[in-house]
Amino acid sequence: MAITIPPLKRSDFLTGQPLVDGSEVYGDATYAVTNPATRETLANVASLGATQTHRAIESNSRAFIDWRKRPAQERAGLLHDWLTLVRHYRQDLGLLITAEQGKPLAEALGEVDYAASFIQWFAEEARRVYGEVIPASANRRIVLIRQPIGVVGAITPWNFPAAMITRKVAPALAAGCTITLKPSEFTPLTAFALAKLALEAGIPPGVFNVVCGDAPAIGSTLTSHPYVTKFTFTGSTAVGKLLTAQCATTLKRVSMELGGNAPLLVFDDADLEPAVEGAVASKFRNTGQTCVCANRILVQSGIHDRFVEALAARVSAFQVGNGLEGATDQGPLIAASALAKVRDHVADAVAQGAHLVTGGKRHEAGELFFQPTVLTEANPTMRLADEETFGPVAPVFRFETEAEALALANATRSGLAAYAFTRDIDRAWRVVEGLETGMVGLNNGIVSTETAPFGGIKESGLGREGSRHGIQEFLEMKTISLGVR
Ligand code: ADP
């Protein structure tokens, strides 16, 4: 087995396995985790199913009895200890992320910092779970307390192998919940390493379990088991809808972070350079594989040609290659099906009249690499207008008026993120208020930070993650009606 990854301080991170109740778990079968840049096998990991997931949930349920009673300060301290270990092994975690997911190492290290920021934030928020006293009547007072919701089931995707995990696990643990997580089968090693570090930090066995393998079997157990009271998912809209339906029979509280189809609007009065940099930051982060990546770039006709020229110059200068080697800007796509979708979107657009400014083909760096691409003359009948491309393709749509841009931007069932570039403050407000999304980047291509609520409207999801609101997803309110004589 050839593993071309630099030596890790913790070589055991490369042989990690699912972790339940403080112990590694082995199933009847294993499967290979591969490096998408080289297609080499990185590790063989246990493939688990419903039986082990039942055990994981039962161990969560036992661990909950003690964990929920720990003073918030103690839980906060343990989260801080976990944070210290995550920071200590930053380089190892970054290398693991690049090896199993493909993003350039600098981006992977940025992801470790982003993942750590959620642990820090929610370690702090653990101590700020306040109740309320509500005036009722002369002989009655109402007191509201907030308590952990219980055992949590979580499923996360491959595009942020660390951050999507800590964004769920840290607030759950801070609130006093216990959790069983199923990471993506593409990227389990980072998840196993994070769970191991949590255990080493002193977070008790059974508080944070990781299972992985047969996604539908694990998913249907997590969404139907009566002990699980909260289910949280990040992934595609289709799978999110299926899992939400599965949760209905036991009426679990559900959070969903689903797909987007982000528009990025550039008005004639925008400053060119920040608009181009914002488009690059939003579109090409993680090689276009994030749910907040600009999927449609809408540019007003007065600035259109200058914008396209500057964007194409930036994009054609990207270094494409293995994220572990040199100063790479763009890595591989995650799988052959992802590459096929990107190729099909480009072919469909070109067949319908789009003009290829740069890129458009598979890249010679390897089987799963695609050339960073800019297209113009995109229109709403093309597949890339309606579906998330999830790859390094920037389609530019031309528009004339603000009303036309807003109508185009909102012509989708998705409503996660949008971006707008303008110097006109009146227009900025009109556009921000008119965009049907949960988040707007105004003169800014980045919306993600642990301090701000992250989430979508329409078919992009339910609930919010991060910020002071994120912990509420893991808390129940209890009303106490107090008689006063
Ligand atoms: P993506 O397109 O980002 O891979 P998916 O929604 O397919 O999005 O995957 C996100 C997560 O959902 C992954 O952990 C994957 O294993 C899981 N998943 C996919 N299908 C199912 C399913 N039927 N039941 C449970 N989990 C699933």
What is the value of pTM for the model shown?
0.98
Nearest-atom index, ligand 1, CA of 184? 14
Question: Per-residue pLDDT averaged across 191-199, rounded?
Answer: 98
Query: 219 CB under 6 A from ligand 1?
Result: yes
The residue contributing the CA closest to ligand 1 atom 18 is 215
Q: Which residues contact 216 (CB under 8 A, 6 or more apart)?
A: none
Residue 121 Cα, ligand 1 centroid: separation in angstroms?
A: 27
Cα(387) to centroid of ligand 1, in Å? 17
Ligand 1 proximity of 215 Cβ (cutoff 6 Å) = yes
Neighbours of 469 (CB within 10 A): 16
- Mutating to test ligand 1, I would choose from 190, 211, 239 the residue with most ligand atoms within 8 A of its C-beta, which is 239
Assess whether the C-beta atom of 184 lies below 6 angstroms from ligand 1: yes
pLDDT exceeds cutoff 80 at 2: no
How far, CA to CA in Å, does 421 sit from each of 273, 294, 315, 376, 427?
11, 13, 19, 18, 10
- Closest atom of ligand 1 to 222 CA is 25
pLDDT band at 272 (very low <50, low <70, confident <90, very high): very high
Kindly tell me if the per-residue pLDDT of 3 is higher than 80: no
Residue nearest to atom 3 of ligand 1 (CA): 235
CA distance 211 to 180: 7
Q: 45 is written with which tokens?
A: 């990991």
Cβ of 71 closer than 6 Å to ligand 1, yes or no, is no
Q: 180 C-alpha to center of ligand 1: Å?
A: 15
**Would you say the C-alpha torsion 230, 232, 237, 239 has a positive or negative sign?**
negative
Q: Is the CB of 235 under 6 A from ligand 1?
A: yes
For 164-173, the pLDDT digits (tens) are 999 999 999 9
CA of 184 to the centre of ligand 1 (A): 7
Residue 398 — φ and ψ, nearest 5°?
-95, 140
Which residue do the tokens 């207008």 mark? 385
Residue 239 CB less than 6 A away from ligand 1:
yes
End-to-end Cα separation, the chain, in angstroms: 76
> What pLDDT score was predicted for residue 1?
45
Give the tokens for residue 231: 């289910």
Q: Quote the pLDDT of residue 4.
A: 77
How many angstroms separate the Cα of 337 from the Cα of each of 46, 117, 341, 344, 448?
24, 32, 6, 10, 27
* Dist. CA 156 → ligand 1 center (Å): 8
User: Which tokens in the block code for residue 283?
Assistant: 């579109």
Catalytic residues: 257
Nearest CA to ligand 1 atom 22: 216
Residues 6+ apart with CB under 8 A from 24: 16, 17, 18
Q: Say yes or no: CB of residue 157 within 6 Å of ligand 1.
A: yes
For ligand 1, what atom is nearest to the CA of residue 239? 6
pLDDT one-digit tens code per residue, 128-154: 999 999 988 889 999 999 999 999 999
Ligand 1 center from residue 240 Cα (angstroms): 8
Distance CA 89, CA 197 (A): 9
Query: Any residues with CB less than 8 A from the CB of 444 and at least 6 apart, and which?
Result: 278, 419
**Mean model confidence pLDDT for the chain:** 97
With a cut of 70, say whether residue 201 has pLDDT above it.
yes
Residue whose CA lies nearest to ligand 1 atom number 13: 184
User: By percentage, how much of the chain surpasses pLDDT 70?
Assistant: 99
Angle between helices 105-125 and 90-101 (to 10 degrees): 120
